[in-house]
């Protein structure tokens, strides 16, 4: 399907028919998700395709039993997993060394990344240091704290989520991204730690033509959001 057509037809669908979603449709959309740009290519994300009846039932409950989850054929949980930074950093270094990458790329992963993702216990010190330096010249102001690093990871996971949702639309099925869920229960269900953040739960299925979408798509005038500077 044409790219702009996929963007245009994507709507958040809150009721699905009982038609099942072929595995290939899900797999192809997951592959598209993994191609999203992400912070420093650290790929600190996880995609949990919840299929077992028991787990799926619990996930629907954790999504507050909303229709978009209850009637879904498939459910995907997108998770930001910043704790994976060290393992992925090592993997990046290994691959780059094998590819004879330039020194600046190796330095990036061997020096800058550990300084940014690690040493969180000196976050206030980093904040102070870069605040003072920033007085004199342009300086990155974040990420320093654990929450800052979560935020970076959440952003990347959101980029991947959008690839996934558009890829489902491009194959004629529909999605609904949900943020109304019980994060503690979803974490427990998936065996995640408190360091993991559930970014969104995405339901997938064939749109129920009678009540899949709630009405016409509402967007405020574009001039409200787009400013030329």
Please list every residue from 73 through 92 that binds a copy of itself, using CB under 8 A.
88, 91-92
**From candidates 19, 20, 22, 35, binder to a copy of itself by CB under 8 A:** 35
Contact 38, 156 (CB under 8 A): yes
Closest by CA position to 44, among listed 93, 103, 87: 87
Using CB under 8 A, which of the segments 14-22, 119-127, 175-183 binds a copy of itself? Answer: 175-183
What own/partner pairs with CB < 8 Å and gap ≥ 24 does 30-37 have?
30/76, 30/164, 32/163, 32/164, 32/166, 32/167, 33/78, 33/160, 33/161, 33/163, 33/164, 33/167, 34/160, 35/163, 36/156, 36/159, 36/160, 36/162, 36/163, 37/156, 37/159
Q: How far is the CB of 129 from a copy of itself (least distance, A)?
A: 14
Please list every residue from 201 through 220 that binds a copy of itself, using CB under 8 A.
214-220
**From candidates 17, 28, 73, 127, binder to a copy of itself by CB under 8 A:** 28
Please list every residue from 103 through 162 that binds a copy of itself, using CB under 8 A.
105, 134, 138-142, 147, 151-152, 154-156, 158-159, 161-162
The answer for 149, left when phi > 0, alpha when psi is -120 to 50, beta otherwise, is alpha
Using CB under 8 A, which of the segments 14-22, 95-103, 119-127 binds a copy of itself? Answer: 95-103
Q: Which one, 94 or 122, has the nearer CB to a copy of itself?
A: 94
**From candidates 15, 71, 153, 163, binder to a copy of itself by CB under 8 A:** 163
Structure tokens at 82: 């910043």
Size of the site for a copy of itself (CB under 8 A): 89
Q: Judged by CB under 8 A, does residue 39 bind a copy of itself?
A: yes
């Amino acid at each position: 399907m044409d790219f702009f057509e996929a963007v245009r037809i994507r709507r958040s669908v809150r009721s699905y028919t009982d038609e099942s979603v072929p595995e290939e449709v899900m797999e192809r959309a997951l592959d598209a998700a993994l191609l999203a740009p992400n912070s420093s290519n650290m790929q600190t994300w996880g995609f949990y395709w919840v299929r077992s009846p028991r787990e799926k039932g619990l996930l629907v409950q954790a999504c507050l039993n909303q229709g978009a989850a209850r009637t879904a054929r498939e459910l995907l949980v997108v998770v930001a997993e910043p704790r994976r930074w060290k393992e992925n950093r090592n993997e990046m270094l290994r691959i780059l060394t094998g590819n004879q990458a330039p020194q600046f790329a190796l330095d990036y992963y061997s020096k800058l990344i550990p300084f940014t993702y690690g040493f969180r216990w000196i976050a206030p010190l980093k904040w102070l240091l870069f605040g003072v330096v920033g007085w004199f010249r342009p300086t990155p102001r974040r990420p320093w704290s654990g929450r800052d690093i979560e935020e970076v990871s959440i952003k990347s996971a959101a980029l991947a989520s959008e690839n996934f949702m558009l890829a489902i639309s491009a194959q004629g099925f529909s999605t609904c991204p949900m943020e109304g869920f019980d994060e503690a229960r979803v974490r427990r269900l998936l065996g995640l730690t408190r360091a993991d953040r559930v970014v969104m739960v995405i339901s997938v299925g064939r749109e129920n033509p009678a009540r899949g979408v709630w009405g016409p798509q509402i967007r405020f005038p574009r001039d409200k959001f787009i400013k030329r500077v």
